[in-house]
Structures are given as structure tokens and as C-alpha cells.
Amino acid sequence: MNDLIQQTAKYLVAARHVVALTGAGISVESGIPPFRGEGGLWEKYDPMEFAHINSFMKNPEKVWKIFMGDMKKVLLAAKPNDAHLGLARLEQLGILKTVITQNVDGLHQMAGNTDVIEFHGNFAWLRCLQCDKRFKTVEVDLSEAPPKCTCGGIFRPECVFFGEMIPPIALTRSQEESSQCDVMLVVGTSALVQPAAFMPVLAQQSGATVIEINPEPTPLTGRISKFLVAGKAGQIMNEILSEVNSLIQSQKQ
Ligand code: OAD
């Protein structure tokens, strides 16, 4: 058994308030590509051309057709993997309180987590740019790009584009949770995009133990995080859960 898995389990079982910050890496094992690194979306598309609000407003058809055309198939078919299910199990055990996610895929909610802060919004809802009505993405005909509302207006997804503000409630709640937690699990994020990447810094500065799960080191590694458990989120989470269960069992005896 990896010593860092044992240490992580001990921190989790002893904690008073655990928060997880997740990024695209946690959904890789569900078939959703990450943004950076091997096979990442930003290798294929220039984020400023396809994920900036100005590009979307200038040419929604292009953004919907290329970037979102690819994404919607993947997002609408994806299912939670062992890492999402592990975080849901940690909540059921009374250990994990809140998930702050940069992902727009809704997989944490699907896995069973009940307090999920969607830092970059979500793809589950679309909003009409003309009449402001919201519709569930699955209920909208996405065959034409851009999809249109009954009023004739163009739909946008409720995710945050580059150049847009973080939804204020998501930002405020994330700051509160990060400054109040005593353990933060940082799973599958490159920690390169602000202000999300500041949440572990806030947690650490407020006295929390920050633990990363990622196959690669990040700018937080060795500076903000206590340690990095290196590996894929699903497998690592299964090992952590198994150790957490043994610790709980031994405490009962
Ligand atoms: P990134 O694509 O930047 O980083 C993904 C991270 O996941 C990397 O650090 C990988 O090493 C790691 N990773 C890959 N496979 C993994 C696995 N199986 N298990 C665990 N980790 C794995 O994604 P984010 O950090 O989420 O913003 O990116 C942050 C933001 O940048 C996104 O929310 C998006 C993007 O531009 C907006 O769209 C506004």
C-alpha cells in the first residue's frame, strides 16, 4: 500500500470539514478530454478563438459547430467514473462536505454529491440571448448550429467563457469553503486557470492540508500541497476509499 494513500485516508478520517476542488482530469476516465496536455482540447482548438466570450458573440455558429459540436456528444453521453463515485461515497460517509468543480459536465451530481459548486457554470442548461429563458440542454434540438429558442434568439450554454466573470455565488461560496475547510483534495486540475487555482492557496493559507491527486505535478506541488498522490483519479480514489473504510472499521472495534 502506497504510504501517501494511507496518509490521505488518515487526514480524511480525522478531518472536520473536507472540500474537493476538481478539474478536467477527474472526467478523463469518463471519456471527456482535458483542456491541456496530451489529447487536450487546446491542442486542437485555440481557446481564444473558441472559448472566449467575444468569439462566441461574434460568431456563435462557428463556436457551436466546431467546439461545442464535438463537446456536446461527449458531454451528453458521459457517465461518472470511480473518482466521481469515490467523492460521492466520501460525502455519504460524512467526510466530504462540498465539491468545487471547474467542470461543466454535471458528473459529480450524477454520482451523488449534493453540494457541488459549479465554478465555471455547466453545460446542462442553455439560455436564450434574446429572451433570457433557460432550457435543459437535453430538451433542445442541437442539430442546427447555433441552436435557437422559440423566440428566434440564439442559445448559449450556461458555462463560463474566457473573458467572463465567475458566477458571483459560486465564487463567494468557493472562497468561504476554501477558507473554512481543514482538508482540501485537489483532483485532476492543472491549477493554471485563475481564480479557481487560488482556492487551494486560500485553503492552505487558512491552515488546511491540501492533497493533490494527479498523474503530473502542478504549480501547487511542493509549494501549496502537502503532497501529490501520483496517478489516475479513479484508481487512486478506489485505494483511498478502501483505506478509509478500514480505518473506520478499526475505529468501531
Ligand atoms: P486541464 O486540462 O488544464 O488539466 C487537467 C489536469 O488533469 C492535468 O493536470 C492532468 O495532469 C490531469 N489528469 C489527466 N488525466 C488524469 C486522470 N486520469 N486523473 C487525474 N488527473 C488527470 O483542466 P483544468 O485544470 O480543469 O476553463 O482546466 C481549468 C480550466 O481551463 C477549465 O475549467 C476550462 C479550461 O480552459 C474554462 O473553460 C473557463
3-state secondary structure of 216: coil
List pLDDT tens digits, range 96-154. 999 999 999 999 999 999 999 999 999 899 999 999 999 998 888 888 889 999 999 99
Which ranges in 78-213 belong to alpha helices (H)?
Answer: 82-92, 107-111, 168-180, 198-205
**Residue range 21-37: mean pLDDT, rounded:** 94
Chain CA centroid to CA 217, Å = 18
Report which protein residue has its CA nearest ligand 1's atom 23. 24
Say if ligand 1 is within 6 A of residue 162 CB: yes
List pLDDT tens digits, range 182-213. 999 999 999 999 999 999 999 999 999 999 99
Say if ligand 1 is within 6 A of residue 37 CB: yes
Active site residues: 120
Taking the centre of ligand 1 as the mean of its atom positions, its distance from the CA of residue 24, in whole angstroms, is: 4
- In this structure, of 20-24, 42-46, 71-75, 79-83, the range with the lowest mean pLDDT score is 71-75
Residues 216, 251: Cα–Cα separation, whole Å = 34
Residues 67, 51: Cα–Cα separation, whole Å = 8
Quote the pLDDT of residue 2.
Answer: 85
Say if ligand 1 is within 6 A of residue 51 CB: yes
Q: Are the beta carbons of 209 and 182 closer than 8 angstroms? A: yes
Mutate to test the pocket of ligand 1, among 87, 107, 190 (most ligand atoms within 8 A of CB): 190
Q: Are the beta carbons of 122 and 106 closer than 8 angstroms? A: yes
Binned at pLDDT 50, 70 and 90, residue 243 comes out as very high
